[in-house]
Amino acid sequence: MNETHFFNRREKLLEQMKEGAAIIASASHAFRSNDTEYPYRQNSDFYYLTGFEESNAVLVLTKTASEAKTILYVEAYNAEYALWNGAKLGLEGAVERFRVDEVRDVAQYPGEVKDLLREHVNLYIDLFDDSEVLRKAKTAVQELRETRGVKRHIRTYRDVTHLIRTLRLIKSSEEIETIRQAIAITAKAHHIAMRECHAGMREYQLQAAMSYVFLEEGAKSEAYGAIVAGGNNANTLHYVDNRAELRSGDLVLIDAACEWELYASDITRTFPVSGTFSDAQKEVYNAVLDVQLRVIEAIKPGVKRDWLQRMSEELLCDALVALGILKGERGALMEAKEHKKFAPHGIGHWMGLDVHDPCPYVDESGESLAFEPGMVMTIEPGLYFRSDDESVPKRYRGIGIRIEDDILVTENGYDNLSSMIAKTVDEIEAMCNQL
């Protein structure tokens, strides 16, 4: 993506804004231990509008009846910082790189924010961000109220994240290409895991094999903490311990994926540790796969996530009856939420700059949004049977299966962006047994 893409996004945001100002801050550093930081990751909304990955930066947009203006505050060159950490882009670098009206030194922001807000009535911010940048802005709003001669004051704080995240819902072709790149690397990592897996390994060793691929291919980070769950551990939905031994005869569920240029992928595959599904595992696996394929097949413009959720619950409920795990009629079972015990999570979520992209799911009236071309959603049904659940036939106990792909809504239907990853029983067994 080049600077024109980020410029166009800012233009779209300005179009959506009433007259006023918007202030969007970069992410802060987070400490991991004493003075040691977590790897820095830019705030997704800030990145969406700037493509800038440095910390200590502020984007200010102002809009009046006659003009719109964009100012990017960045850190100026600092010799001491450069000695320890390398030089940041600096003011001159930012002027060349960003198509904004002005680049200014972030050290000036506290002294200038009052002027930037003078005579504006709307201030667009992240209403839940209490960073220093926004505290300074709010103090400026207060001071302006008390300043003689200022005729108009900020009277409304508006949620800028809602506007940005509504734009983020529809991915451009460049964004889709970036997501495809993340998925291509993730596909390679899942296939390596299938091929390298054997009984006696530890879950973290499979994770390491995947992380090697991510780093080797140039991905800077996982998109989220990897879940590598052997056997019954798959029934702990957010299992991230990844330290147990993988046992022959068990399945292993891997929900792991990398991020590429800050865009996520999100993939789950479940496969046999020793390369061959047992009959019981195959029965559950094919039941989940059938639900996944049917839900994906239903995706096209106009369809709503709520419908897919309902459809997936009905299909999973039917599967539970067919497997002999639930008994009774679907309507009554669903009414009593019996299926939720074995299929507790949602069918999928938006994906983009965040793995759980915080784009709206409903419109202004609370109605589920209809799909449009360019939206990307995961489809990830699962069935989970704990080893200690005596209500489940013995042969299924300890089996936990989820299958997750990343789906793009297209003009005519959908494109499964992760369709190259082994998924049928035959494909998985072939991959597991490939040398």
Residue with tokens 């802005």: 137
* Residue whose CB is less far from ligand GLY, 258 or 333: 258
Size of the chain, expressed as the number of residues it contains:
435
30: left (phi over 0), alpha (psi -120 to 50) or beta: beta
Work out whether 98 is an interface residue with ligand GLY (CB under 6 A). no
Work out whether 380 is an interface residue with ligand GLY (CB under 6 A). yes
Minimum separation from the CB atom of position 235 to Mn ion (A): 16
Q: Pick what 418 binds: Mn ion, ligand GLY, none; C-beta below 5 to 8 Å, kind-dependent.
A: none
* Residue whose CB is less far from ligand GLY, 238 or 394: 238
* Residue whose CB is less far from ligand GLY, 188 or 349: 349
One symbol per residue from 37 to 76: x for binding ligand GLY (CB under 6 A), - otherwise; what is it?
----------------------------------------
With a CB cutoff of 8 Å and minimum separation 6, the contacts of 326 are 317, 320, 333, 338, 339, 342
Work out whether 224 is an interface residue with ligand GLY (CB under 6 A). yes
Minimum separation from the CB atom of position 292 to ligand GLY (A): 13
Q: Are 263 and 183 in contact (CB under 8 A)?
A: no
CA angle 418–360–179, rounded 5-degree value: 25
Residues assigned a catalytic role: 35, 238, 255, 266, 345, 349, 356, 380, 384, 402, 404
* Residue whose CB is less far from Mn ion, 348 or 398: 348
Encoded tokens for 326: 């639930």
* Residue whose CB is less far from Mn ion, 165 or 349: 349
* Residue whose CB is less far from ligand GLY, 75 or 380: 380
Bridge partners (DSSP) of residue 269 are: 254
Three-state secondary-structure class, residue 25: strand
Minimum separation from the CB atom of position 218 to ligand GLY (A): 21
* Residue whose CB is less far from ligand GLY, 256 or 299: 256
CA 65 – CA 271 distance, rounded (Å): 60
Q: Which residues bind Mn ion (CB under 5 A)?
A: 255, 266, 378, 404
CA 50 – CA 5 distance, rounded (Å): 9
Looking at 261, 266, 357, 429, which residue binds ligand GLY (CB under 6 A)? 266
Catalogue the long-range contacts made by 90-99 (C-beta closer than 8 Å, 24 or more residues apart). 94/52, 97/3, 98/3, 98/6, 98/50, 98/52, 98/72, 99/3, 99/4, 99/6, 99/7
- Region 320-359 residues binding ligand GLY, contact defined as CB under 6 A: 349, 355
Number of amino acids touching ligand GLY (CB under 6 A): 7
Handedness of CA 392, 396, 397, 399 (dihedral sign): negative
Encoded tokens for 379: 């489809």
Q: Are 154 and 122 in contact (CB under 8 A)?
A: yes
Encoded tokens for 310: 């309902």
Encoded tokens for 237: 């939905």
Q: Pick what 75 binds: ligand GLY, Mn ion, none; C-beta below 5 to 8 Å, kind-dependent.
A: none
Minimum separation from the CB atom of position 255 to ligand GLY (A): 5
CA 315 – CA 319 distance, rounded (Å): 6
One symbol per residue from 154 to 193: x for binding ligand GLY (CB under 6 A), - otherwise; what is it?
----------------------------------------
Work out whether 405 is an interface residue with ligand GLY (CB under 6 A). no
- Region 226-255 residues binding ligand GLY, contact defined as CB under 6 A: 255
CA 352 – CA 372 distance, rounded (Å): 15
Minimum separation from the CB atom of position 380 to ligand GLY (A): 6
The site for ligand GLY (CB under 6 A) is made up of: 224, 255, 266, 349, 355, 380, 404
